[in-house]
Structure 1
Amino acid sequence: MSLTEKEYIALCKQLIAEQLRLVPDNGTLRQRDLECLADSIEEKSGIRLSLSTLKRLWKKDYDQVPHPSTLQALVSVLGYKDWQEFRLRQAPLPAAPVAEKRTRRLNRWMILPVIAALIVFSWLIAFRSGQPASIKPLVKGPVTFTGNKTVAQGVPSTIVFNYDVSNVVADSFFFQQSWNERERVQIDPGKHYYSAIYYYPGFHRAKLIANDSILKRFKVHITTDGWLPLAHHSFQDSIPVYLPKDGAIKDGALHISRNALTAAHMDINKDLTLSYFNIREFEDTYSDNFSLDTRVMLDSTNMNACPGLRLVVICEGDIFFVSMIRKGCERNSNIKMGEVYEDGIQNDLSSFGRDLYKWQQVQIQVVNKQATISLDGQPVRTIRFKKDFGKIMGLAYHFTGTGGIDYVKLKNGKNKMVYEDEFGK
C-alpha cells in the first residue's frame, strides 16, 4: 500500500529530526532547532526557508501540502535531489504474505535471533541517512568567536578568527567561513586561532560549529574599492581571476572585453562567468524599502546555448536576485526576493526570457517588503516577503560570457539616491 502525500511529508520530517537530532517539544521545534534546520537547508540547497515557514511545518496540527520548492528544500537535507526522488526511495515494499499461525511455543533460542534482528533494524533506521546522528554539544558557559582583517579592503582577504570553546563539551569542532559546507574544516578545541582567506568579496557569515550545531556566527564584510571585475570557469572555482579595472569603462558602460579576458589567460572558448562586484555599506538602505534601476546587456559573441545574466542585491541576512535568460531557455530562469524563491520549472517566468544582446532595463522596487520587478519599464512580477534581511551591503552582476552595465541607480526607503554610476557619461 503506497503512502499518501501527507504521510510522505510526515516521514520526511521524522527523518530530518533524526538526522539533525531535533527534539520536538509538544510537536513543535525550539527556536534553536529551527535556526539549525534553516541553516542546514540553506547549506544543502541554497534556499533560505524562513523560521515562520519551518515553525508552521512542524506544528502538531499542520495538515497542508507545502509548495514544491519547499519540499525540495527539505529533502535536500537528507541528500535527495528533489521530492520525487525522495518518494521513490522511501516507497514502502509490498507487504509480505501473512504466515500461518503456529500453535507451537517458541523457545528462547528462536526468540534471541529475532531480538537481535530487531536491534540491527532499529540501528539501521537511526542511521538511514548514511551518517551517524550527531549528539548535541553541552554548552556550560560563554563561547568566544571573533575575527580581524589583515587588509581593510579588497581581495584576497585573510581573516584571523579567535575562538574559545573551553566551555563546550562535544566530539568535534569545525569552522565554516561561509554558507558553503564544502569550506567546513575541523579545528583544534585546545587552540584559539584559525585563519581563512576570502577570495570573493561580499557579505559572509562565518560559523563556529560543535558536532553539527552552530555555536556562533561572525559577520565578515569584504568590501571593494568601487567596481571589481573577476571571472571564473565554474562556480566551484575557489579562486577567481581578478581582472584589471583600467580600460573597463568604455563608451559610457562598464564592460570587460573578450580581449581583456584572453590577456588574463582565460579560455574564452570554454563556458565562463564574468562578474562585477561593488561591495560597501550603502547609507541608510535596508532590504524592506529600496529601489534599484539598472541597464545590462550580453555580448552577441556569446556561444553558450542558454546564456543569461543575474543581478544580485547582497544584504546582511541573505540575497535578492533577478535572473534573465535567452528566449527559449526560460526554464532555467529564477528569482529570489526576500525568502521567496521561484524557479522557471514550477513557475511561469516566461517574462524573464529576453533578447539579452540588446540593452535590458531592470528595476526592483521594494516597499514595505513588497517587491515589484519591472523589465523595460513594465512590471512583470510582484512578490511579498516577510523576513527582515537588514542593510544592503553590496551589488553584484554575473554574466554568462561577457557583458556590460550601462548605469546603476540605488535609492533608499526615503527616496534618497545613495549610489549612482553612469560610467563616464
Structure 2
Amino acid sequence: MGWGSGSDWSSQNFEQLSEKIREHTGVVISYNTLKRLWGRIPYNSNPSTVTLNTLAKFIGYENWSAFCASNSNEIRISRKSYRFKDIKRWSKKGEKTALTTIIIISTVLTLVILSFSQTGINKKDFRFSSKRITQGLPNSVIFEVDASSADDNDEIEIQQSWDVNKRQIINKEDSLVTSIYYNPGYFDAKLVVNNQIVKRHGILIPSNGWFALMETDNEPLYFKPAEFKTRKGVVVSPELIRSYNSNTSISNTVVNYYWVEDFKDLKADDFQIETSLRNIPVQNYGSCRKSEIIVYCEGEVIIIPLSVKGCIANLNLHLLDRTVSGTRNDLSDFGVDFSSPVNVKCVSKDGTITIFVNSKVAYKTSFEGKTNKIYGIKYRFEGTGIISGLKISNSKKVFLDI
C-alpha cells in the first residue's frame, strides 16, 4: 500500500490496523496502544499478555508463547538498531531481558506490517451505500455495491454490524444485496475485501419508543407495547413468556428492550445515562442472571454488564475500543442482588468515564477523544427484566426522561 515506515504513519493508518486486527482476532487493540508499541507515544509499562497474544494470533500463531517458541532461533536483530532509552522503557530488571523483549516485539510488529501491507487494494475503487425499505421491524436494507475492481480471487463480504459473525459473502459482479435487520440499533455496515474494510457507513434502525423482543432459535419474537408497558415501567412478565413458549423454539430465555433514536447532539465525550433495572428469572435461564446495558455509539458500543455476585469472572465491560475482562480485572462491583432494583449511572465528562452501581463507583477510566455520536440503548436480560427508569442527558439538555 506504500505506507512506508511506521514512524511516518498517520493516526488513520493505526486506526485501520486496529480494525484489521479486530477483524482477524475478535480482540480490540486500540490505535493508541499500537502507537505506543511503535514508539510513537510514551509507553511506561510492558505490553499486556492479551496484546501480545493478539498480535501473535494476527500473524498466524496460536498465542505469544507459540510465536516465541517458533522464532527463538531465527531472531537476529542487532543491538545497534535500538536506542538505550527504549531498552530501559520495557524492563528495569535487566538489559538482557529487556532487549530480548524488544527484539521479539519488533519481529512481531514487522510481520504485522508485512501482513497488513501485502494487499494491493485501493479503497477509492469501491462503492458502498444502503437504503432502508420500511420504517418498522423486521427491516430489509438494500446495499448498493460496486466491487468490480476486485480481483477474481478476492473474498468480498458485507458485514451488517460491529459483529464479525454477521457477514455475507457476495460476488464482485453483485450490484445490489439485501440483508434483514431484526432488531433496532445503530449498525456499522462494512464492505470487506480479503478481511480488509474498504468502505463503511452507519445504518440507524429506530425503535420508535420502547421496543421489546425475545430471542429464539430462529427469528425473534416481538411483543406488543400493550403487553409490556406498565405504570411501573417496561416488563415482559414470565407469564407473558410462558404464553408464547408453546409455539416457539427457545433454548434459553433472553429478553431485550430497546430505545433507539437519533439524539442529534449527544456524543460520547459528554453524556449521562441513569437507569433502574432488575433481572427476573424464568424457565430456561442461566443461573448467573447476566444482564447487559448496551449503549449504541457511532461505530462501536459501550456494554455495562451485571450478574449475581458469584459470576463476575464471566463479565466483560466494553468501552468502545477496549474490553475489560472479569477474568483479569476486579469487576466485583458489577455483581449485584437482583431481589431489588439496581441503579446504574454512566457519566462521561472531561475525558473520563465513570460507572456507578447503586451509587458506588464500579469503574472509572480515561475516555479522552471519544466523540462518537450516541444513538440509543439496549437492555439484554438472561431471563427477563423490568426497567423502572431511564434518563439520558448531557451538560446542556435532557434528551429522555422516563
Q: TM-score range by the shorter chain?
A: 0.7 to 0.9
For 2:71 and 2:15, locate their aligned partners in 1 and report how far apart those are by CA, in whole Å: 35
Q: What residue is the counterpart of 1:91 in the other structure?
A: 69
1:332 aligns with 2:314: yes
Tell me the alpha carbon deviations over residues 171-204 of structure 1, each in whole angstroms, 9 at most, x when there is no partner.
3233222223333333232342111111222111
Tell me the alpha carbon deviations over residues 226-272 of structure 1, each in whole angstroms, 9 at most, x when there is no partner.
11111225xxx673222222220234121001222233337798432
Q: 1:192/1:340 Cα in 2 relative to 1: closer, same or farther (>3 Å)?
A: closer
Amino acid at match of 1:179: W
Deviation at 1:160, TM superposition (A): 1.1
Q: 1:53/1:28 Cα in 2 relative to 1: closer, same or farther (>3 Å)?
A: farther
Q: What residue is the counterpart of 2:81 in the other structure?
A: none
Q: What residue is the counterpart of 2:128 in the other structure?
A: 145
Deviation at 1:207, TM superposition (A): 1.4
Which TM-score applies when normalising by structure 2?
A: 0.78
Contact 1:203 1:314 in 2 (8 A): yes
How does 1:10-159 map onto structure 2 within 5 Å? 25-26=5-6, 33-44=13-24, 46-59=26-39, 64-75=45-56, 77=58, 85-88=63-66, 91-92=69-70, 135-139=118-122, 142-151=125-134, 153-159=135-141
1:247 aligns with 2:227: yes
Q: What residue is the counterpart of 2:212 in the other structure?
A: 229
For 2:380 and 2:273, locate their aligned partners in 1 and report how far apart those are by CA, in whole Å: 16
Give the number of the structure whose alpha-carbon radius of gyration is greater: 1
For 2:147 and 2:72, locate their aligned partners in 1 and report how far apart those are by CA, in whole Å: 50
Equivalent position SS for 1:34: helix
Q: Provide the alpha-carbon RMSD of the alignment.
A: 3.3
Question: Matched residues, percent identical?
Answer: 27
Q: Which moved more, 1:365-374 or 1:381-390?
A: 381-390
For 1:314 and 1:335, locate their aligned partners in 2 and report how far apart those are by CA, in whole Å: 14
Q: 1:170/1:136 Cα in 2 relative to 1: closer, same or farther (>3 Å)?
A: farther
Of 303, 315, 324, the residue aligned with 1:342 is 324
Q: 1:327/1:33 Cα in 2 relative to 1: closer, same or farther (>3 Å)?
A: same
Deviation at 1:292, TM superposition (A): 0.8
Tell me the alpha carbon deviations over residues 345-368 of structure 1, each in whole angstroms, 9 at most, x when there is no partner.
111111111102211100111102
Q: 1:183/1:349 Cα in 2 relative to 1: closer, same or farther (>3 Å)?
A: closer
Contact 2:270 2:349 in 1 (8 A): yes
Q: What residue is the counterpart of 1:287 in the other structure?
A: 268
Q: Which moved more, 1:380-389 or 1:341-350?
A: 380-389
Q: Which moved more, 1:359-368 or 1:48-57?
A: 48-57
How many residue pairs get matched? 359
Deviation at 1:136, TM superposition (A): 1.4
1:400 aligns with 2:378: no
Amino acid at match of 2:51: T
Q: What residue is the counterpart of 2:357 in the other structure?
A: 375
Unpaired runs of at least 5, structure 2: 74-110
Unpaired runs of at least 5, structure 1: 1-20, 96-127
Deviation at 1:44, TM superposition (A): 5.0
Contact 1:155 1:199 in 2 (8 A): yes
Which TM-score applies when normalising by structure 1?
A: 0.74
